[in-house]
A and B are shown apart, each in its own frame.
Chain A
Amino acid sequence: MIAIPPGGIDCDIHPAVPGLGALLPYLADHWRESVVQRGMHELESIAYPKNAPLTSRPDWRGAGGLPGGDLDQLRAQALGPFGTSLAICNCLYGVQLLFSEDLAAGFASAINDWVRREWLDPEPRLRASIVVPVQNPEMAVNEIERLAADKRFVQILMLVMGEMPLGRRHYWPIYAAAERHGLPIGIHAGSGYRHPVTGVGWPSYYSEDYANQAVAFQSALTSLVCEGVFAKFPGLKVVLIESGFTWLPAHLWRLNKFWRGLRMEVPWVDRPPAEIVRDHVRLTLQPVDSPPQHEQLERLMEHMGSDAMLLFSTDYPHWHFEGTQALPEGLPGALIHKIMVDNPRATYARLTEALA
């Protein structure tokens, strides 16, 4: 077992919205009334069924049954045991699933204000991603502008599957705002469920939905590269969160090969996709879809072709490992400090800036 060195930066933890009621004080009057008048349901997504084993480690399920729903509990479970110096909160609550752009914008603002007040204010080790209404890039940019001055927001959060592939020009105003403010785009597992989660239709099982998240990340990466997002926004960084990473080398080999054959179609992709990805894209550590043998993981790290890409994460409270064994066996020793500290700092400029 690899011991976790203290002072690490955890790039993916999930504080949970305890319920619509908790957001009411942060919603604008109209939306607060709508929630009550229309009898709105919780916005939990089917991406993480509440009682599914993966959704929370058994020892991280609190007395109230809501993993990640309580700050003291999060301190005791997610921060303390790992010696975490800073942790980035990615709040998953189904804003991106809503069909009304206005409603999505209202809830995104409420969630961000709730995170700021209930989590960031009382706990200096926490940072957060800005939840945006991806349904409408103009509204998303407004939300980014509203919060960008608060340096505790270190990233913009999107889901890997939405209405259209993430490289499409439709989304570019969001990327322009991200680049302007030095905020990486964090792409988290999950879907707006506008389409089946696979390219071949709706699967039967949750197990398939979750397994296919890694497949969706491959498609999203293809889109970001081929549409020329990184040519247009050379300062942009993208972090794939809860994506897994063992699929990355094989995908880059394929993308490179087809780029050689078809680059006339996407002339703005003016160098091999693998190079572009290694310069602009980072991935969080958990889940580690490990090969059975440690030597295989060592080989795979060599296939990655870069030691700058992985960012430490526990994905608290999702259940990927036991105890504090967040660093998989087979991880080369020289990588550990980079993954825990150097790479997160290099990715999130705001982590090293003084808070305003």
Chain B
Amino acid sequence: MTVQLLERRATQPAAAVKMAIADCDIHPSPKSMEKEVYPYLEKRWQRHLETYGVRPRQGFANGPAFPKGQPDASRRDAYPPNGGRPGSDLDFMRQQHLDPYNVQLGILNPLRGGQGVQNGDFSAALCRAINDWQIAEWTSKEPRLKGSVVVPYEDAAASAAEIDARAGDTNFAQVLVLSRTAEPLGQRRYWPIYEAAARAKLPVAVHAFGYGGFPVTGGGWPSYYIEEMVGHAQCNQSVLTSMVMEGIFERLPTLKVILVEGGFAWLPALAWRLDKVWTRLRDETPHVKRPPSSYIRQQVWVTSQPTEEPEPRRHLLDTIEWMGWDRLLFATDYPHWDFDDPTQVLPPRVGEQQRRQFFMENARAVYGITG
């Protein structure tokens, strides 16, 4: 008889916890649009927002297509004591998150920043305002935090202009797009975004979510939030497939892409499958000159949250070995409900060097931030 020993989810030693960490997915929210974002939004668009709303590619005027599992998809303890949405109070974020976990580098990913709004001019105006807001309310006040250049991605020219305008501004660490777009993100209508990001030496983060107008599965609309949430990993696989097969990485060898909040354990199997399909059908995509896995190995990173949970947990270490310890960036998703706690996130028996890569060095390398 074989006995499977229980692997304890024990808290890691205090010294390890207190190592400086990078959190590559933090979600800030405005305390109020009027007070914090309107100063950067023209009067015309303020009126537009009040009159017509943001109109994404889904039907509900207030709230998501699938009701979330928690109010505001947030931790119950993340509501600031002085009011406002979770993630809207810098002091409380310091006190609840940055200080206790010793987050020395936090990447802000605003999700309600005007991305994917159907009216292109409004989308561009909102994105610009949200970028100004990130500097004013967050990065100028807290040097541990870096912003994302939010772009109206359905209009690549406007997006590229916004990236060019922010190039060289150290308030920003990356360009942010969402995964579910009007067409797969590898397609050429989006290339000016990648070209501008490469020019600005900023990685492009593809955060899960958004609404492209299509069902979250290739076989139609599911019934439940759990299906949509699980489905973000499938969408990220499709996004990466598109980016590789359209030849973006071949064309822009300095481009770095970070896939955020779609899990990561699927990455090795996807790379194996893409290699096999490419080997068989490569005359269809002559612009893809090397096996897909080699582009992924060099130009693609993934954030860890929500970390898959195998039983036994050590199976996850095989997966990380296969993708490479230098590909994985720690993220908590603060203040959202499916937060990954840095003291619990890795299975036991991970070496010191790998922990340093996972919690900090990989992030510094991909964002080009020394410290």
Contacts and interface: CB of A to CB of B under 8 A. Distances in A.
Interface of A: 52-54, 160-168, 191, 194-208, 210-212, 214-216, 218-220, 222-223, 226-227, 244, 246-247, 249-251, 253-262, 264-266, 274, 287, 289-292, 296, 299, 302-303, 319
A291 B268 contact: yes
30 contacts: A165-B227, A196-B218, A198-B184, A199-B215, A199-B216, A199-B235, A200-B179, A201-B182, A203-B238, A204-B186, A205-B245, A207-B278, A207-B285, A208-B184, A211-B277, A214-B269, A214-B273, A216-B218, A219-B216, A244-B269, A246-B272, A247-B266, A247-B269, A253-B308, A253-B309, A257-B308, A266-B226, A291-B268, A291-B322, A319-B280
Given A54-B280, A204-B246, A258 B221 contact: no
B232 to A, nearest CB: 9
B182 A204 contact: no
Interface in B165-199: 179-187
B306 interface: yes
Chain B interface category by residue count: 35 or more
Given A223-B227, A247-B270, A253-B265, A201 B214 contact: yes
Given A195-B218, A214-B273, A207 B235 contact: no
Contacts of B238: 198-200, 203, 208, 212, 215
A257 B266 CA distance: 14
B345 to A, nearest CB: 12
B277 A207 contact: yes
Contact of B241 (A54, A203, A250, A290): A203
Contacts, number: 242
Contact of A205 (B182, B233, B273, B285): B285
Interface in B286-331: 306-311, 315-316, 318-319, 322
Given A290-B272, A291-B272, A206 B284 contact: yes
A251 B214 contact: no
Given A162-B220, A250-B265, A303-B318, A210 B277 contact: yes
B212 interface: yes
A205 to B, nearest CB: 5
Contacts of B182: 201
B263 interface: yes
A203 B242 contact: yes
B120 interface: no
Nearest to A299: B318
Contacts of B281: 52-54, 206-207, 210
A129 B159 CA distance: 51
A244 B179 CA distance: 24
Given A53-B280, A253-B265, A291-B322, A164 B212 contact: no
B235 A200 contact: yes
B291 to A, nearest CB: 10
A191 B242 contact: no
Q: Which of A197, A249, A259, A264 is the most central at the interface, judged by chain B CB atoms within 10 Å of its CB?
A: A249
Given A219-B234, A227-B224, A256-B309, 12 more contacts: A161-B218, A199-B238, A200-B238, A201-B184, A207-B278, A223-B227, A249-B265, A251-B233, A255-B230, A265-B225, A303-B310, A303-B315
